[in-house]
Amino acid sequence: MVVVGHGPSGHRLVEALRERDRAGAWRITVIGEERRPAYDRVALTSYLTEDADLAYPAHDDGVTLLTGDPVVAIDRRARTVRTAAGRDVPYDALVLATGSAPFVPPVDGRDLPGVFVYRTIDDLDALRAHCTDLTTSRPQVGGIVVGGGLLGLEAARALQGLGVDTHVVEVAPWLMPRQLDEGGGAMLRRHIEALGITVHAGTPLTRLEAGEDGGVARVVLADGTGIDAGVVVFSAGIRPRDELARGCGLPVGERGGIVVDDTCRTEDPAIWAIGECALVNGQVYGLVAPCFSMAEVAADHLLAAAAGHDSPARFTGADLSTQLKLMGVDVASFGDPFAGPDQGALDVTYTDPVAGIYKRLVVSDDARTLLGGVLVGDASAYPALRARVGAELPGTPEQALFGGTAAPDGDLPGATRICNCNNVTADALRCAIRDDGLTDLAEVKRRTKAGATCGSCVPLVKKILDAELAAAGIEVGKALCEHFDHSRAELFDIVRVRGITTFTELITEHGRGRGCDICKPAVASILASLGRGHILDGEQAALQDTNDHFLANLQKNGTYSVVPRIPGGEITPEKLIVIGEVARDFGLYTKITGGQRIDLFGARVEQLPRIWKRLVDAGFESGHAYGKALRTVKSCVGSTWCRYGVRDSVGMAIRLELRYRGLRAPHKLKAAVSGCARECAEAQSKDFGVIATDKGWNLYVCGNGGMRPRHADLLASDLDDERLVRLIDRFLMFYIRTADRLQRTASWLEALDGGLDYLREVIVDDRLGICAELEAAMERHVGSYTDEWRATLEDPDKLRRFVSFVNAPDVPDPSIVFESERDQIKPVLVAGPRLEVARR
């Protein structure tokens, strides 16, 4: 057998054949046009942004691979293919997996230097080299991506990461028109433009104009808009690579594509076609999932043919659901998102323009069957919703939209397709787990391929695995990630009991591999919670999340915010003057927050030490707005000033904030103290809140604001000052010890077996006998606290990281630009996010 093309489809075909061809019926030769073997085109942009290795696993010794020598002709009578180098390779069966080519509209100037397509690694290497030269000579150069679909937005992300002021031109009225409805496209546009990319929708490109050097210098749109640009990337769709089929007389579609039946066989019984070059039932598929399905079907028929019998495998279409993260924005569509009243469909829509969230479910006219939907800004419900397409909802559409009772456990019907990319059903997963004795997620992914491609179905795969293990009486593992078999809580105890001080020591003794972006920040948090050194000391610095790298919150234009701690919101005139002077002298945007602090925005990274030197000298400390730590303890003015106040809420808020400042936790912590039942400090929406009464203090715990607000629960009442502080000490340390990574107190309480009653038994009644230990741990934190910024300013090694460019430490970032609005600075978004990547 000869396979022409070594992209994802060709690779999957060979993989499927080698797995199933136990008798060795086929000798396989693969001929690839590119000089490198197959690689993951879905993750193409990560090659530019992260230098990712995209290569697929190599084939075994039973496969002959020829690369960099494209096939130029097929002789159907002789059953041979000829390559550009003059090789004649015979075949008994031929599979065309030639993929597709980028569509470049026939506009004037499309052949100018500086015009690229976005399809292969070679394309990306050429684009990077051009942009490097361009940004060196023209720092504010513009770039255009023609096409606002999936790949076009990926190309825009890459172009922005290369330092280019990026524009996207889309002929349709909104972005991603093949996957999103108008509302979803509009919300996505808000997100994309907030990242500094300009979108021109509903306007085609008419021509490209050359500059003095002969390269592209300007593009003109149909509405007359002209945009200066030194680079243009076409990503306006694909066209099937069917020229080999045309050349040997095989039927092709009117708009391209090699005509095949539902077995992926062409008119010639010895020739198959799969992937983006194939036209099945009048349609060409450009997503990885249907291309992989075609490869599986063809493999079954090739093996059946070798054995002298037929196969029932058929390609009958594909689920075009998709989930991805575009420049940090969650986007998903599933089922039929465009069904309307004419198809007997209704829709349920939720829009939050402030949070940038758009959700739309399409349901049957009785609102019981899920038909499809669109999610932008929050796609957490995607795996559960996609699995329910075509099935009856277990609750209302509203519950399905926001989690509720519609989230499936392990009880999905057996035919439900869990992994769309690799066509794995719920029954296939269950059978593999039971028959092969699989007990962890990595084994399931390796054995079944579920979750091994795009990864969007992994949460659902994990649910099914957990359900199967629980049904078999096997304890469900709570491993933090593939590098540790322990949960976060277990790792916390290991670090605490064994006195471990570094990530390397922990993973060497209790894990495997080198770690990942899940376990590294989690362990960094554990080490910080236990006071194992400054977070920027040695190896610790490399473990931290983005904001912790510079002890400041990264903003959308590549600058940082400065947030000094102001306990209880109480501040002297002298300290107010210092903040005002710092904001004035460094030209910072100034805002009073809802947490009774003053935020200063627009600081460049190299300015941070100078800003904090002045603040520290004036007596300020880090407000930890960048960390998973205590943020603020908000307060009203209390009995000192308010005629309704019954206790000194300001004094208690300051006491609590100074006690718990710098306390690292699984997630951020917010608190408040109200001086009376009128609740002006909003204590019942905080992780812990205190409300004064005539008899003492009432303590509320596990409240959260945000997208899913939750009122706090009353843990204890009528407390004196000392008893209140002791209970909060216990509560916080118990949470830090037992919560999962990035788990807020509200979801932690909901996951506790026994809920609030159990928490009360542990914290108030000391049922486990650990309260003295929890209090002692908190005392160690209080006694060892040092301000992170003061310690950083005293350490020359730590200060070396605060530069925009490591090779030019005194040069400010030229892409950071501001304009004025309401007498304050406002960012002009150019290419902020790529700067942080470059610094790291």
DSSP β-ladder status, 28-31 and 63-66: parallel
Q: What does DSSP assign to residue 265?
A: B
Question: Which stretches within 388-440 are classed as H helix?
Answer: 397-401, 426-435
Taking the C-alpha atoms of residue 133 and residue 692, their distance in angstroms, rounded to an integer, is 65
The distance between the two most distant Cα atoms of the chain, rounded to a whole number of Å, is 100
Q: What does DSSP assign to residue 685?
A: G
Taking the C-alpha atoms of residue 808 and residue 817, their distance in angstroms, rounded to an integer, is 19
Helical (H) or strand (E) element with 73: strand 71-75
SS3 111: coil
Amino acid at 266: T
Would you say 715 and 760 are in contact if contact means Cβ atoms under 8 Å apart?
Answer: yes
SS3 621: coil
In whole angstroms, how far apart are CA 750 and each of 739, 755, 759?
11, 6, 11
Q: What does DSSP assign to residue 164?
A: -
Half-sphere exposure of 7 (CA within 13 A, CB side): 28
Is 676 annotated in a binding site? The answer is: yes
The DSSP string of 725-769 is HHHHHHHHHHHHHHPPTT--HHHHHHHSTTHHHHHHHHHTS-TTS
Count Cβ neighbours within 10 Å for each residue of 372-398 and write b for 16 or more, e otherwise.
Answer: bbbbbbbbebbbbbbbbbbeebeeebe
Q: Write phi, then psi, for 207 (nearest 5 degrees).
A: -165, 160
Would you say 828 and 819 are in contact if contact means Cβ atoms under 8 Å apart?
Answer: yes
Question: Which stretches within 168-250 are classed as H helix?
Answer: 182-194, 243-247
Is 431 annotated in a binding site? The answer is: no
Residues, the chain: 840
Task: Give 497's contacts (C-beta < 8 A, 6+ positions apart).
Answer: none
Q: What does DSSP assign to residue 475?
A: P
Q: What angle do CA 163, 165, 168 make, to 5 degrees?
A: 120
Task: Give 805's contacts (C-beta < 8 A, 6+ positions apart).
Answer: 811, 813, 838, 839
Closest CA to 336 of 317, 315, 355, 350: 317
Amino acid at 223: D
Place of tokens 């959700």: 359
Taking the C-alpha atoms of residue 175 and residue 326, their distance in angstroms, rounded to an integer, is 12
Helical (H) or strand (E) element with 634: strand 630-635
Closest CA to 96 of 236, 232, 268: 268
Q: What does DSSP assign to residue 708?
A: S
Closest CA to 196 of 838, 726, 839, 834: 834
Is 248 annotated in a binding site? The answer is: no
In whole angstroms, how far apart are CA 376 and each of 269, 339, 442, 458?
45, 18, 29, 19
Would you say 246 and 68 are in contact if contact means Cβ atoms under 8 Å apart?
Answer: no
Is 771 annotated in a binding site? The answer is: no
Closest CA to 413 of 438, 439, 390: 390
Closest CA to 28 of 370, 302, 405: 302
Give the residue ranges of the annotated binding site for [4Fe-4S] cluster: 636, 642, 676, 680
Annotated binding site: 636, 642, 676, 680
Residue numbers in the known binding site for siroheme are 680
